[in-house]
Amino acid sequence: MEKRTMKIQNREEDAYRQLKEKILAGVLIPGDILSEASLSQGLGMSRTPVRYALKQLEYEGFIIYHKNRGISIRETSSREMVDILEMMILFEHSAVKKVKNGETIFDIAALKRLGDEAKILRNERQYASYIEKTHQYNSCFIASAGNSQLTVVYNTSWERVISTSVYNKMTHPTAIPKKTQTTVGFIHQLNQSITDEAYDHTDHLLDEYFDYARNQILYYGQI
């Protein structure tokens, strides 16, 4: 009985993971009308684990159920994206404050590695992988606050920003002109300020990044 229960749970988690990956990668996009039957067929699963996955994705704000019509991928509005961005910056300020007070430390090696990997992906124009890597960087940064709930809230919310950014990038690939500032540029500066223990400057850079990223969202609908 226990093995059967575990098998069901594994199928449910697998369905959830696969569908979420398809949303984040832009395979399933806003506007598409989907059904449990078509998704089950595409995943090669029964409808039961797919139904569980869809309920979880609905709870996280990724999909919408339409009565007698099916399911659609939810597009996060620019206003919502800015609100999530502001939340992320507040969480990162909290991490900086705790490090300044000697309550915790930054994982500098991990932050530098993630920053370097993000730079490579950006240079290779692998947009979906690039913003996923910057997401991992911010998650690592926030984890330094030592509050696991902050990290969970950030991860769930920011993934909606990723899915909408990828969709907008796919539909408007040349929308953003050549930039003098970039996210990886800010990451490099943040890592340097952390290495130098110049935490007041770290706070200042976070506020600068908020202004930069907010404008990217409001003007172009993407990070």
What would the pLDDT profile of 84-133 be if each residue is shown by its tens digit? 999 999 999 999 999 999 999 999 999 999 999 999 999 998 988 998 99
What class is the 78-220 domain? Answer: mainly alpha
> CA angle 215-124-144, nearest 5°?
60
Tell me, yes or no, if the two domains 2-73 and 78-220 fold the same way. no
More reliable by pLDDT, 137 or 174: 137
CA nearest to 73, candidates 51, 58, 88? 58
The residue ranges of every structural domain in the chain are: 2-73, 78-220
pLDDT value at residue 117: 98
| Sign of the four-CA dihedral 109, 113, 114, 118 | positive
> What would the mean pLDDT of 72-80 be, rounded to a whole number?
89
Q: What is the pLDDT of residues 5-28, one digit of tens each?
A: 777 788 899 999 999 888 887 888
- Which CATH number among 3.40.190.10, 3.30.460.10, 1.10.1060.10, 1.10.10.10 corresponds to the domain 2-73? 1.10.10.10
What's the pLDDT at 135?
94
pLDDT grade for 189, boundaries at 50, 70 and 90:
very high
